[in-house]
Amino acid sequence: AQTVTQSQPEMSVQEAETVTLSCTYDTSESDYYLFWYKQPPSRQMILVIRQEAYKQQNATENRFSVNFQKAAKSFSLKISDSQLGDAAMYFCAYRRGGGSYIPTFGRGTSLIVHP
């Protein structure tokens, strides 16, 4: 079974600085997708960034970027120029490709942004 591990229960960062959230996963599949979701106090999960395993290039979305290390099964999220609105729970998620739909989420990392 696939597992997703987020080893940092909580991280903090100063406004305007950079923070990296860690995620590792375990799978024997070669076709899969990785995601980072943000869950603010409103409880609504919001997709931050997505990475296809077959793509070597790391995904980037404005201030958010990932460091995808396929061999090491590592998928970290870097948030640059942190803003107060970035404060939330962040979940790393894995989904097998080939038509499978069942996602696996990590336990989450709580990000605190200090003004």
Partner 1 sequence: DAGVTQSPTHLIKTRGQHVTLRCSPISGHKSVSWYQQVLGQGPQFIFQYYEKEERGRGNFPDRFSARQFPNYSSELNVNALLLGDSALYLCASSLEGQGSRKLFFGSGTQLSVL
Q: According to the binding rule CB under 8 A, does residue 99 interact with partner 1?
A: yes
Least separation in angstroms between residue 2's CB and partner 1 is 11
The angle formed by the CA atoms of residues 48, 52 and 58, to the nearest 5 degrees, is: 70
Phi, psi of 15 (to 5 degrees): -55, 140
- 57 near partner 1, rule: CB under 8 A: no
Centroid of chain to Cα 11: 13
| 52 touches partner 1 by CB under 8 A | yes
Interface residue with partner 1 among 2, 8, 50, 78 (CB under 8 A) is 50
How many residues of this chain bind partner 1 (CB under 8 A)? 26
Residues 104 and 2 sit within 8 Å (Cβ to Cβ):
yes
CA–CA separation, 100 and 115 (whole Å): 42
Which residues form the interface with partner 1 (CB under 8 A)? 4, 33, 42-47, 50, 52, 91, 93, 95-108
